[in-house]
């Protein structure tokens, strides 16, 4: 099956990935608006990959947590650094998951 | 002793049934443990690959952003954004699924993101060469990120499955199997006790009968 790509983030990130061919775009300005868009992307059967910048992920972490946990098999969601390379450790739950399951600290960054 | 044990009927039939259950539980426990080991190997392998790929992709992303910034400075932010919206935004990734130890994970199969200059769709005579460069950089990063997303998605799913499996292994090891074992101990104790009871009773009857014999 073929799927499209969605991007949510700051203007530069969205512009860059639009140039690369991402189909669904959303520039984050307002919490509620972004959340609504993200919900739409998550339930869209055409979307296969959603890129979210770390800032958006951080800002909406409370609302996003359950959304990402309950999400279906597709789309895949990936958190990427924003245009300044801002990517704090533990922005996603991956490190927590590794620590819990492997019992050791594994540095992914 | 637990409640389940006290309401048990101490019969030989029950003992056999319990022993069979222990055997089954043990077998299940061993199988789950093997599954956990296999998942763990997969998990750690993925973690290693993600670590490498992340470093690479994020560095490239930063570079692409610098190119874009240059382009925005040259052409103007608005013009750049307009060109990006004008461009053909039809990148497609083909996603299938495969299963690792019964865990369904997505696999990105064909990524067709890199394009030729004329395929991008923005008007070439109004845009700078810097825009082309930024676009091609972002295309490269995007295909890397697709790969990364696949790995991260897989590790997340395997992690969940690992947790679930571990819970089940622990439940078997620390709750079900000890409980069954104590039930077996209880029943065999009761059976032995009954046997001794019978033995003593028979002895006693025999003694009584012999005493009656002598009195005659």
* Residue A49, strand partner residues: A5, A76
Q: Which of A51-65, B147-161, B182-196 has the highest mean pLDDT?
A: B182-196
pLDDT-wise least confident of B51-55, B63-67, B106-110, B181-185: B106-110
pLDDT on residue B139: 85
> Residue B82 sits in a domain of what CATH number?
1.10.287.3240
Comparing CB atoms, the residue among A14, A94, A100 nearest residue B155 is A94
Q: A61-75, A88-102, B60-74 — which is least confidently predicted?
A: A88-102
H helical segments located in chain B: 3-6, 12-75, 77-86, 129-171, 177-215
Which burial class, exposed, middle or buried, applies to A104 when counting CB atoms under 10 A from its CB (0-12, 13-18, 19+)? exposed
The verdict on residue A90 lying in a domain is yes
- Whether B88 maps to a domain, the answer reads yes
- Look-up: residue for tokens 């770390």? A54
Query: Which H helix or E strand runs over B100?
Result: strand B92-100
Taking residues A17-22, report their average pLDDT: 84
Per-residue pLDDT reduced to its tens digit, B119-139: 777 777 777 778 888 888 888
Tokens of B4: 């389940």
For A51, residues 6+ apart whose C-beta sits below 8 A from its C-beta are: A5, A6, A7, A8, A9, A13, A17, A22, A78, A80, B145, B149
Range of the domain at B127: 22-184
pLDDT at position B16, please? Answer: 92
Res A35 pLDDT > 80: yes
Kindly state whether residue B193 falls inside one of the protein's structural domains: no
pLDDT digits (tens, 9 = 90+) for B65-87: 888 888 888 888 888 787 778 77
pLDDT value, residue A105: 58
DSSP state of B176: I
- Using the structure block, give the residue that is written with the tokens 């319990």: B18
Domain assignment of residue B39, yes or no = yes
Distance CA A11, CA A27 (A): 6
Task: Residue A35: give the domain boundaries.
Answer: 4-102
The answer as to whether B209 is a domain residue is: no
Q: Which of A54-63, B17-26, B33-42 has the lowest mean pLDDT?
A: A54-63
Could you tell me what percent of chain B has a pLDDT over 90?
29
Distances (CA, A) of B206 to A6, B180, B215: 92, 39, 14
pLDDT at residue B112 greater than cutoff 80: no
Stronger pLDDT, B88 or A24, i.e. the higher one: A24
The answer to whether residue A108 sits within a structural domain is no
Binned at pLDDT 50, 70 and 90, residue B162 comes out as confident
Reply yes or no on whether the pLDDT at B1 is more than 60.
Answer: no
pLDDT exceeds cutoff 60 at A109: no
CATH code for position A53: 3.40.50.10580
Specify if B77 maps to a domain. Answer: yes
Q: List, as one string, the DSSP characters of A35-96.
A: HHHHHHHHH-TTEEEEEEEHHHHHHTHHHHHHHHHS--S-SEEEEE--TT----TTSSTHHH
Which residues on neighbouring strands pair with residue B99, listed in sequence order?
B104
d(CA B194, CA B185): 14
A84 vs A54: CA distance, rounded Å: 11
Q: What is the pLDDT of residue B97?
A: 84
Decide if B97 and A73 are in contact by the 8 Å CB cutoff. Answer: yes
- In a domain? residue B197: no
Q: Is residue A107 part of a domain?
A: no
Report the number of distinct structural domains present in chain B: 1
From the CB of residue B97, how many other CB atoms can be counted at a distance below 10 Å?
A: 11
B100 burial type by CB count under 10 A (0-12 exposed, 13-18 middle, 19+ buried): middle
Look at residue B4 and tell me if it is in a domain.
no
* Residue pair A37/A26 in contact by the 8 Å Cβ criterion: yes
Q: Does B41 touch chain A (CB under 8 A)?
A: no
Q: Which among A14, A20, A25 is the top mutation candidate for probing chain B, defined by the most B β-carbons within 10 Å of its own β-carbon?
A: A20
How many structural domains is chain A composed of? 1
Q: Which residue of B has its CA nearest to A109?
A: B51
pLDDT at A92: 63
pLDDT at A86 over 80: no
pLDDT of residue B153: 87
Tell me how many residue pairs between chain A and chain B have CB atoms under 8 A apart: 151
- Please tell me whether the overall predicted TM-score, pTM, comes out greater than 0.90 for this model: no
The mean pLDDT of chain B is 85
Contact check, Cβ <8 Å, B68/A15: yes
Question: A25 has which bridge partners?
Answer: A7
Question: What percentage of chain A reaches a pLDDT higher than 70?
Answer: 86
Nearest 5°: CA angle at B79, between B131 and B90?
60
In chain B, how long is the greatest CA-to-CA distance? Answer: 134
Evaluate if residue B47 carries a pLDDT over 50: yes
Q: Please report whether residue B210 resides in a domain.
A: no
């Amino acid at each position: 099956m073929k799927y499209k790509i969605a991007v949510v983030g700051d203007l530069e990130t969205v512009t860059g990935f639009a140039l690369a061919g991402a189909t669904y775009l959303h520039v984050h300005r307002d919490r509620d608006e972004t959340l609504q868009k993200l919900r739409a992307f998550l339930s869209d059967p055409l979307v296969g990959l959603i890129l979210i910048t770390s800032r958006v992920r951080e800002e909406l972490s409370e609302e996003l947590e359950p959304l990402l946990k309950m999400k279906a098999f597709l789309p895949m969601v990936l958190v990427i650094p924003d245009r300044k390379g801002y990517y704090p450790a533990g922005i996603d739950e991956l490190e927590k998951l590794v620590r819990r399951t492997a019992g050791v600290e594994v540095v992914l960054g | 002793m637990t409640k389940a044990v006290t309401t048990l009927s101490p019969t030989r039939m029950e003992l056999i049934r319990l022993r069979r259950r222990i055997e089954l539980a043990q077998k299940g426990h061993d199988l789950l443990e093997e599954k956990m080991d296999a998942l763990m190997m997969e998990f750690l392998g993925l973690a290693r690959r993600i670590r490498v790929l992340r470093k690479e992709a994020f560095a490239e992303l930063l570079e692409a952003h610098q190119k874009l910034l240059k382009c925005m400075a040259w052409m103007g932010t608005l013009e750049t954004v307009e060109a990006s919206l004008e461009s053909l935004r039809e990148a497609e990734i083909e996603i299938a699924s495969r299963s690792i130890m019964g865990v369904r994970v997505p696999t990105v199969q064909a990524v067709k993101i890199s394009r030729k200059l004329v395929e991008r769709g923005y008007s070439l005579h109004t845009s700078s060469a810097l825009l082309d460069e930024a676009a091609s950089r972002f295309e490269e990063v995007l295909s890397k990120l697709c790969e990364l997303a696949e790995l991260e998605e897989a590790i997340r799913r395997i992690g969940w499955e690992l947790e679930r499996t571990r819970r089940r292994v622990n439940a078997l090891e620390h709750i079900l199997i000890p409980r069954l074992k104590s039930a077996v101990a209880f029943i065999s104790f009761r059976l032995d006790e009954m046997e001794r009871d019978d033995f003593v009773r028979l002895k006693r009857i025999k003694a009584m009968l012999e005493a009656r014999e002598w009195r005659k």
